[in-house]
Structure 1
Amino acid sequence: MELDDAYANAAYIPDADGFLARWPQEAADFRGHMDAEGRARLGLIYGPSPRQALDLFLPQDDPEGLLIFVHGGYWLRFDRSFWSHFAQGALARGWAVAMPSYDLCPVVRISDITRQVARAVTLAADMVAGPIRLAGHSAGGHLVARMLAKAMVPKHVSHRFAHVMPISPLSDLRPFLRTSMNADLRLDEVEAIAESPMMQHVPDIPVTVWVGAEERPVFLDQAQWLVKRWNCGHHVAPGRHHFDVIDPLRDPDSGMIATLLDT
């Protein structure tokens, strides 16, 4: 369909298949290490379906707070098992990290996924004290931005939100009506508007929209649309594309981690 190529990432990323092959093995190795140290709480259930579960990774000492990372995949693919190793940077800085999975389209709709993530955020918040910082990549960027909508999560949780970082987010879902993905997403105009973060009220907590300079033009646009609507922070990472833009989450000394945890 009209916008299929615009939203195609892998076709324009060198060694895209290599990323998809490495991520799950690196994540599994990391989980095994954390589990052996007694610092992993795996498969914590937050809802009735098998995919409604999260993994919680704990730092060496009492947590400074909680980072929740929500994965992407166009609401159609992946689960938390691909991304565990991206908890490394925040853990090294003393933060607990929660990573939820969620049901995928077409089994559910995007609005259902949003509500599932809100329940996952609430469960994780009840398990770790202190400030909460949210990060999400691509469709996960959409989902963490949606957590800032009014009444999305209980007030005792939202009052703890300290910083939100949508990474390469999808902020306006209306273009997906013109992609072949919509056969599975099943968006209509009403849901696309309701689920678009740029249509929400402007949040009153720090937000930084992070995007790679080498991403597809529509992702630069999607990021800019949210920045303009929310009048929030914006970082365009030089040399980064849609797959490696999240690599700095693994580095406790990266600018991404500093922005996420220190501001």
Structure 2
Amino acid sequence: MGTTAAIDWDDAYSNFAYIPDGFEYPARWLAQAAQFREEMQEKGLLKADVSYGPHARNRLDLFMPWGDLKGLAVFVHGGYWMEDFDKSAWSHLAKGALTHGFAVAVPSYALCPEVRVSDITVQVGLAITRAANEVSGPIHLTGHSAGGHLVARMVTATSPLTQAIRHRIRKTVPISAIADMRPLMKTEMNDTLHLDAVEARLESPALLEPQESIDVTAWVGATERPEFLRQNALLANIWSGFDCLVDAVEEPGKHHANVIEGLSEPDHPLTRTLLCL
């Protein structure tokens, strides 16, 4: 009998090392976001640093559309629940939904190891609730990587959201989401995340029952690391066995850093999928 080689889990979750000029993307995001924020502030369409909780990072930016308001879209950023990203790097991703009349909320949240992943889940629930109290109508959720995990958690049976908020959610698009957190316990990241078997299971969307009748599209770049392709397919596969609408997309030519770019384009399939257009 042959033996199976041990998986290098640190390598499996190493994204930027496998993307040409990958480490240049964060600076690019910050520049694009800053320019867009300035434009929105000049138009009076940005409600900045809206508080949703007691922590210094419990703040969100709310971008408002020009004209009739059709609902709320929320983007939750990634960074493995621990990297020093915040809402200021992602403002430009609101462009697509804004063009179609949706307000867009982009929250920051406290990071590991100061808090646990389960605490971040609660924070994101508070952020969505705060934004939903500001904007009426349907809610559409998306997030990238760890943010994809977090928006998927919002539509599980153990979501921190109230039923009133959950019933307003029309679409959820986890992008490059980590649906099963258990492999992360075998990475060096866990020195910071401090995941144990119980929390990993309770915070893994793929191991939880989805809320009945939700509509989810699991989205990933086709050239991403194999582990992210596996995780994307895993969520869609398991949740397809429940009473909800679930499908999966592998976007051609996209990797972990540029798979989110479609959100800045009004007619990109990612934006149209998020908004059910």
Relative to the length of structure 1, the TM-score reads 0.98
User: Who is 1:184 aligned against?
Assistant: 192
How far off its partner does 1:49 sit? 0.9
Question: Which residue of structure 2 lines up, in the alignment, with residue 165 of structure 1?
Answer: 173
- Aligned position for 2:72: 66
2:154 to 134, 140, 147: 147
Instruction: Give the drift of 1:80.
Output: 0.6
Give 1:209's aligned residue: 218
1:85 aligns with 2:117: no
Which residue among 262, 266, 270 is the counterpart of 1:248? 262
Alignment correspondent of 1:51: 57
> 3-state DSSP class of the match of 2:275?
helix
SS in structure 1 at match of 2:132: helix
Gaps of 5+ in 1: none
Q: Secondary structure at the match of 1:61?
A: coil
Retained in 2: the 8 A contact 1:202–1:229?
Answer: no
Identity of aligned residues (%): 51
CA displacement 1:129-167 (0-9 Å, x = unmatched): 110000000000000000012352011111100000000
Q: 1:11-61, CA deviations, whole angstroms, 9 ceiling, x for partnerless residues?
A: 000111221111111101111110110000000000111100100000001
Cα distance in 2 for partners of 1:261, 1:137 equals 16
Give the count of matched residue pairs: 263
Letter aligned with residue 45 of structure 2: R
Moved over 2 A (4+): none
* CA RMSD in angstroms, aligned pairs only: 1.0
Question: Cα offset for 1:62?
Answer: 2.6
Q: Does 1:229 align with 2:238?
A: yes
Gaps of 5+ in 2: 1-6, 241-245
Aligned partners of 1:202, 1:107: CA distance in 2, in Å?
29
Normalising by structure 2, we get a TM-score of 0.93
